[in-house]
Structure 1
Amino acid sequence: MPRSLIVNSSTSIPAAELSVSFARSSGPGGQNVNKVNSKVTLRWNVSESNAVSLEVRTRFLERFSSRINQAGEILISSERYRDQPRNLSDCYEKLRQLVQTTLAPQRKRKKTKPTKASIERRLAGKREKSMRKQNRRLHPGEE
């Protein structure tokens, strides 16, 4: 039943690596919610996947370690919509976005120093605030 997921022009996850299950949703639907299995749960075993390179896989496992279970699977569920096909496509879209974020490695941050002007602006603001607070105080001999 699952279909392959196309992440971008060079990456796709075959249907054999994905498993889909359905359950009754707790979301909107009125009386229909008690009869129809509209909630969709999508599973992808990231740790054993051959669809993505080793680099992407390790980045994915690092970045989303809190969402991956002991078996190395990521579970994505959707019960946003009242019908099963829309929830299924929502799960696919969520997984596609997760994989896409890990395809390119994150750039290292370059350390920069604040400019002299920005330092001066910050200090001027601090002086201004200090003066404002000093002016609020009662000076000796005033009441």
Structure 2
Amino acid sequence: MIQVTPDITLDENEIRLYFVRASGPGGQNVNKVATAVQLRFDAARSPSLPEDVRARLLRLAGRRLSTAGELIIDARRFRTQERNREDAMARLLDLLRRAAEAPKPRRPTRPTAASRRRRLEAKRRRGEIKRLRADG
């Protein structure tokens, strides 16, 4: 079990890791060794996620989400499979923790009497300037 937050845990079986060849620099090594990691997590159907967290995760995932509702994280930053695997897991956990935070409810506010007074005074001054310009 992977602890995401105090009340959310993921079963390791829900995460699938695929190792692929990375592109970019690395010489002959890059052509021979599958060091890049593709992590896949079925966010749309995961039994570990509460419904509100799932909705926020799907919104946060953006283009990392497949049409089937699968979250795909590509990690190819490092030259070793192990470091890329850790990087992919860290990125998944970071995304899940951000989705677990409930948004702060917006409380509507009203302008203070002083700010209303300042606004109207500024409008009056501007109108006065324009009126004087028209008369002259």
Same fold (TM over 0.5): yes
Counterpart contact for 1:5–1:96, Cα < 8 Å: no
Alignment of 1:92-103 (within 5 A): 92-103=89-100
Residue of structure 1 equivalent to 2:84: 87
Residue of structure 2 equivalent to 1:105: 102
Residue of structure 1 equivalent to 2:75: 78
- 2:23, 2:51 → 1: CA distance? 37
- Secondary structure at 1:7 match in 2: strand
Matched, 1:46 2:43: yes
Counterpart contact for 2:36–2:74, Cα < 8 Å: yes
- Secondary structure at 1:21 match in 2: strand
**Deviation string for 1:115-137 (max 9, x for gaps)?**
758x96xx7xxx9xxxxxxxxxx
Counterpart contact for 1:23–1:39, Cα < 8 Å: yes
Count of aligned pairs between the two proteins? 124
In structure 2, stretches of 5+ residues that fail to align are 127-136
- Aligned partner letter, 2:78: Y
- Secondary structure at 1:81 match in 2: coil
**Deviation string for 1:78-98 (max 9, x for gaps)?**
100000000000000000010
Q: Tell me how far 1:109 sits from its aligned partner.
A: 2.8
TM-score by length of 1: 0.71
- Secondary structure at 1:107 match in 2: coil
Q: Tell me how far 1:23 sits from its aligned partner.
A: 0.7
Greater Cα offset, 29-38 or 94-103: 29-38
The structure that is helix-richer by fraction is: 2
Residue of structure 1 equivalent to 2:66: 69
- 2:46, 2:39 → 1: CA distance? 15
Cα RMSD between the aligned structures?
2.9
